[in-house]
Structure 1
Amino acid sequence: MKLDRAGYPFIAGFLAPAAYLLLKKKPAAGLPLLGMAGFMAYFFRDPERYPPQHPDLVLSPADGRVMVAGPGEPGVAPPGEWQQISIFLSPMDVHINRAPFGGEITRIAYTPGKFLAAYDERAAAENERNEVWIKDGDRTVVFRQVVGVLARRVVCRVQVGDQLLAGERFGLMKFGSRMDVFVPPGCVLQVKPGDVVRGAESVIARWPEA
């Protein structure tokens, strides 16, 4: 199983003392730590995905459950007219983040903030977050990493000027968190609240055919 490199310190942090305690024949103390090392390996798993490559599709940037699918929420959406898809990631979901749309990154904005639970309606506007704008021709999609009460760190491995393919890895969020995607009003949403989506594979919006 492939693991994201951000998980190595967490895995080693539990695995090393677990091995020491087990060698000292202290299973009552060592086994729980071994279990935590296993959970960290599971959390930082990075499975292969097979994104559909079509210029009219907007893909889910993460695994999780759709919380919002509709008009952009006041105080949450960027300035202008947008539709919003918000996805909640539980600690059991894959936390690798992938580009929902292919194009050139034109803007990245990191905002420090609180650590409210990711499902809290205030989280998108008040929590620590990282916003990425990507453009292809006259089409722009905005996506935002939002950390939660457990997730305390955003990892973003791209910079302005980079070119991404739809579904390409660009970062992750450590532990339970949320992803917001904003598309123009002309896009047709393909999901509704309660839907379960898979990063890089589920279609969440579509540009109308010309």
Structure 2
Amino acid sequence: MKIHREGFATISLVFLVLLVINGAVFYWFDSPALTWSLLAISVIFFLFIVSFFRLPARKNTEGDNLVISPCDGKVVVIEEVYEPEYFKDKRLQVSIFMSPANVHVNRNPISGEVKLSQYHPGKYLVAWHPKSSTENERHSVVIGNGKTDILIRQIAGALARRIVNYLKPGMQVSQNDEMGFIKFGSRVDLYLPLGTEVTVQLEQVVKGAQTVIAKI
């Protein structure tokens, strides 16, 4: 298992902080119970941070007529909504909630040209809040391939404080390649044309680069 490059700085910082704390407790307190308890908690916490940035090897699902899940998580919304930022009309929204335990790399659901890549500062409502799509910190990307245009919106959650996105308008991108990363709990929304055949259900657990979300 690999570690995502977005995690190197965070993992190094956490390791140094834990090392200093444990060293100080060992030096100042003559209490084996306290020392070993803190060490155990530190190891568990460090392993959790490392696992958050894991990048497991996977056999990708591909297809020109398929919309592949952009992330790991659970489907929490499938509904018709008005999309005000780019399309300015009704779209079919599919939302995937990513818990802190999920792999947090985000991927392109289709191949095509990047038509929009726009960051929006905002609030940090819990990721499942109905207004998180329009009020939270977020980054919107539109990818078009001649058959359809799809908007993908990375949304920061209550714990997330940084959205990373690698795409720029005019780029040609490939399905399942990395689009970005969201740190510590978040959500990704997909906006599909009305009438799109959705192949997932509410509460279904999906995997990025593998699960088919819809058919074009």
TM-score (norm 2): 0.88
CA pair 20-125 structure 1, distance change in 2 beyond 3 A = closer
**1:73: Cα distance to partner?**
5.1
Aligned residues of 1:14 and 1:36 also touching (Cα < 8 A): no
Query: Number of paired residues?
Result: 207
Kindly indicate whether residue 112 of structure 2 is the aligned counterpart of residue 137 of structure 1.
Answer: no
Unaligned runs of 5+ in 2: 27-34
**Distance in 1 between the 2:184 and 2:105 partners?**
10
Kindly indicate whether residue 48 of structure 2 is the aligned counterpart of residue 39 of structure 1.
Answer: yes
SS of equivalent residue, structure 2 residue 57: coil
**1:35: Cα distance to partner?**
2.2
**1:17: Cα distance to partner?**
3.7
Aligned residues of 2:82 and 2:89 also touching (Cα < 8 A): no
Question: Which one has the largest radius of gyration?
Answer: 2
Kindly indicate whether residue 185 of structure 2 is the aligned counterpart of residue 176 of structure 1.
Answer: yes
1:10: which partner in 2?
10
CA pair 183-86 structure 1, distance change in 2 beyond 3 A = same
Aligned residues of 2:97 and 2:128 also touching (Cα < 8 A): yes
> Which has the larger displacement, 71-80 or 192-201?
71-80
**1:186: Cα distance to partner?**
3.3
1:92: which partner in 2?
101
1:1-210 alignment, distance < 5 Å: 1-20=1-20, 25=26, 26-72=35-81, 78-207=87-216
2:31: which partner in 1?
none
SS of equivalent residue, structure 1 residue 81: strand
TM-score (norm 1): 0.90
- Report the residue type matching 1:5 in the other structure: R
> Which has the larger displacement, 61-70 or 76-85?
76-85
Q: What percent of counterpart residues are identical?
A: 35
**Cα RMSD, aligned residues only:** 2.0
**1:123: Cα distance to partner?**
1.0
Unaligned runs of 5+ in 1: none
Poorly superposed stretches of 4+, deviation over 4 Å:
20-25, 73-78
Aligned residues of 1:75 and 1:125 also touching (Cα < 8 A): no
